[in-house]
């Protein structure tokens, strides 16, 4: 039962083959049995889960069930969950119990999902390996010597190990797609503004976007149906109709124009990963798609520009953690200044402090124009070249990550090489476009993802393109042997 997709569990619940309580207990038991090996959860919410499962079973018995009623899921610990610890994997918020639900959580709750627990992540979502968590690294279920990717590494590892049918994640520069790639699951970052950011602890507000992490594109569509939509509480959420994202699944790919950016296949790309991506492209050609070579010449500027914009916004967002209002406070402060300094100094980890310092510097008087404004201009150039590309193609394809994965500790002391893991994902956030990573092959025992980028608000097409591939291949159904 645990290997089933969300869609088939939904069908099983509808037919009465299993109850939500049974299903929930099954996943809770799996987490207790297997999670010590991968550390994908920070908090298990057993009591809440069983109560929500009972409510779901009652709703179904009364004839009030939708496709997500009674489906167990996990939430990245960046989403506020009322009455439940919401830590963002930081010592700063280790004692924080959220007083309200994030809109994403609220929407999924009202669709009837069951919360199994909160998943591990990089501290404040800063990282690509899930090694910056206050609660320890997450391990890749395919090989526990390897990282699961980050920052939504706990969500990705939990879905890959089939400890939950699905999880939520957030993606500021690749944090849904890159861990999805490294763990062999499907991860969708929707268009900026598609999903409310309210109650999602802010990292870089102009880039952050929530999304589903699942086995399949069909499952992602089912979750997106409930997560998406305008929210008056988030001024950047878009007032656009939310289509039924499952409606186009299965449409033909005859004539689909796929753009392949020359810059995504440069010398930094691992040869095995390149082969996997080329094989996937051939599969699409067989399905009737047409390949068009395109240029995204400013791709190499996305990382330097991101590492000005994201830390600048983070330094501002994280100023609220001052030892007074939320979270950690140092012992016996001598005076107010000492309280601020030591609470922040002791409460934040090293990577978070590095970002706060870079961001504060970039925003300081005299440097603002040279760094922040310049980076925003580069960002516009990146957006413009995507706009030009989408005049000729329907979707853009390439690798999600330059390699299949790396070992725990391998890049931990070398931030620059860590930052390069996001070379193919960051420009998508800079432009605000939707992107999805789907499993497309295996290299030395580790999964490899294919990234598909769509035009603004074209998630339905993106999901259909991903779904059709998953109908012809079985990479998405493979799972790590140790967790069968
Ligand atoms: N790895 C990138 C960073 O550390 C992206 C993280 C994210 O998307 N949250 O900033």
Of all protein residues, the one whose alpha carbon is nearest to atom 10 of ligand 1 is 126
Of all protein residues, the one whose alpha carbon is nearest to atom 5 of ligand 1 is 173
Contact 219, 165 (CB under 8 A): yes
CA 11 – CA 94 distance, rounded (Å): 38
* Closest ligand 1 atom to 126 CA: 4
SS3 436: strand
Annotated active-site residue in 7, 19, 20, 76: 76
Whether 151 is catalytic: yes
SS3 450: strand
Q: What is the DSSP letter of 373?
A: I
SS3 392: coil
* Closest ligand 1 atom to 176 CA: 8
- Our CA angle for 191, 195, 196, nearest 5°, is 135
10-residue averages of pLDDT along the chain (484 residues): 97 98 98 98 98 98 98 98 98 97 98 98 98 98 98 98 98 98 98 98 98 98 98 96 94 92 93 97 96 97 97 98 94 97 98 97 92 97 98 98 96 89 96 98 97 98 97 97 94
State if residue 169 touches ligand 1 by the CB under 6 angstroms criterion.
no
Q: Give the CA distances from residue 357 to residues 138, 151, 419, in Å, rounded to whole numbers and listed in that order.
A: 26, 20, 16
State if residue 187 touches ligand 1 by the CB under 6 angstroms criterion.
no
Annotated active-site residue in 19, 111, 128, 151: 151
Q: What is the DSSP string of 231-289?
A: -TT-TTS-------TTTTTT---TT-EEEEEGGGGSTTS-HHHHHHHHHHHHHHHHTT-
pLDDT of residue 46: 98
* pTM assigned to the model: 0.98
Whether 205 is catalytic: no
For a substitution probing ligand 1, which of 122, 127, 318, 400 has the most ligand atoms within 8 Å of its CB?
127
Annotated active-site residue in 19, 111, 152, 175: 175
The encoded tokens of residue 388 equal 């030009």
Cβ atoms within 10 A of the Cβ of 71, count?
28
State if residue 77 touches ligand 1 by the CB under 6 angstroms criterion.
no
Handedness of CA 122, 47, 214, 187 (dihedral sign): negative
CA 221 – CA 474 distance, rounded (Å): 18
Q: Which of 270, 278, 202 is nearest to 443 (CA)?
A: 270
pLDDT of residue 417: 87
pLDDT of residue 254: 86
Q: Which of 436, 480, 479 is nearest to 454 (CA)?
A: 436
**Cis, peptide link before residue 304, omega less than 30° from 0:** no
The encoded tokens of residue 221 equal 């569509």
State if residue 209 touches ligand 1 by the CB under 6 angstroms criterion.
no
Whether 76 is catalytic: yes
The number of angstroms, rounded, from the C-alpha of 183 to the middle of its chain's C-alpha atoms is 12
Distance from residue 21's CA to the centre of ligand 1 (Å):
36
State if residue 128 touches ligand 1 by the CB under 6 angstroms criterion.
yes
Look-up of token digits 């919360």: 115
CA 307 – CA 415 distance, rounded (Å): 11
Contact 365, 278 (CB under 8 A): no
């Amino acid at each position: 039962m645990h290997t089933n997709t969300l869609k088939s569990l939904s069908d099983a619940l509808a037919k009465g083959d299993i109850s939500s309580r049974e299903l929930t207990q099954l996943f809770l038991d799996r987490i207790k049995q297997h999670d010590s090996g991968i550390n994908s959860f920070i908090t298990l919410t057993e009591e809440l889960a069983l109560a929500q499962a009972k409510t779901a079973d009652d709703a179904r018995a009364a004839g009030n069930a939708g496709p997500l009623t009674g489906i167990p899921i996990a939430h990245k610990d960046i989403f506020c969950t009322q009455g439940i610890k919401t830590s963002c994997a930081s010592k700063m918020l280790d004692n924080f119990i959220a007083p309200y639900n994030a809109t994403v959580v609220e929407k999924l709750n009202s669709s009837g999902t069951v919360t199994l627990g909160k998943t591990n992540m990089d501290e404040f979502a800063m990282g690509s390996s899930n090694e910056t968590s206050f609660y320890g690294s997450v391990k890749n279920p395919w090989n526990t010597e390897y990282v699961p990717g980050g920052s939504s590494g706990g969500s990705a590892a939990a879905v890959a190990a089939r400890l939950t049918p699905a999880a939520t994640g957030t993606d500021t520069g690749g944090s849904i797609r890159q861990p999805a790639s490294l763990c062999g699951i499907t991860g969708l970052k929707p268009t900026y503004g598609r999903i409310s950011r309210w109650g999602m602890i802010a990292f870089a507000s102009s880039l952050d976007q929530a999304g589903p992490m699942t086995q399949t594109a069909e499952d992602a569509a089912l979750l997106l149906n409930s997560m998406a939509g305008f929210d008056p509480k988030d001024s950047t959420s878009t007032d656009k109709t939310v289509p039924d994202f499952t409606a186009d699944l299965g449409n033909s790919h005859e004539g689909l124009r796929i753009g392949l950016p020359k810059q995504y296949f440069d010398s930094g790309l691992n040869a095995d990963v390149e082969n996997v991506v080329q094989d996937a492209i051939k599969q699409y050609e067989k399905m009737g798609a047409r390949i068009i070579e395109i240029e995204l010449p400013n791709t190499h500027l996305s990382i330097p520009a991101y590492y000005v914009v994201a830390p600048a916004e983070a330094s501002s967002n994280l100023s609220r953690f001052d030892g007074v209002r939320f979270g950690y406070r140092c012992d016996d402060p001598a005076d107010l200044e000492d309280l601020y300094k030591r609470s922040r100094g002791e409460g934040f980890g090293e990577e978070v402090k590095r970002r706060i310092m870079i961001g504060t510097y970039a925003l300081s008087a005299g440097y603002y124009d040279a760094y922040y404004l310049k980076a925003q201009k580069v960002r516009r150039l990146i957006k413009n070249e995507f706009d030009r590309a989408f005049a000729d193609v329907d979707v853009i394809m390439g690798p999600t990550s330059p390699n299949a994965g790396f070992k725990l500790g391998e890049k931990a002391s070398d931030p620059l090489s860590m930052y390069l893991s996001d070379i193919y994902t960051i420009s998508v956030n800079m432009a605000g476009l939707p992107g999805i990573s789907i499993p497309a092959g295996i290299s030395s025992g580790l999964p490899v993802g294919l990234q598909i980028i769509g035009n603004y608000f074209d998630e339905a097409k993106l999901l259909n393109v991903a779904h059709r591939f998953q109908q012809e291949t079985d990479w998405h159904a493979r799972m790590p042997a140790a967790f069968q």
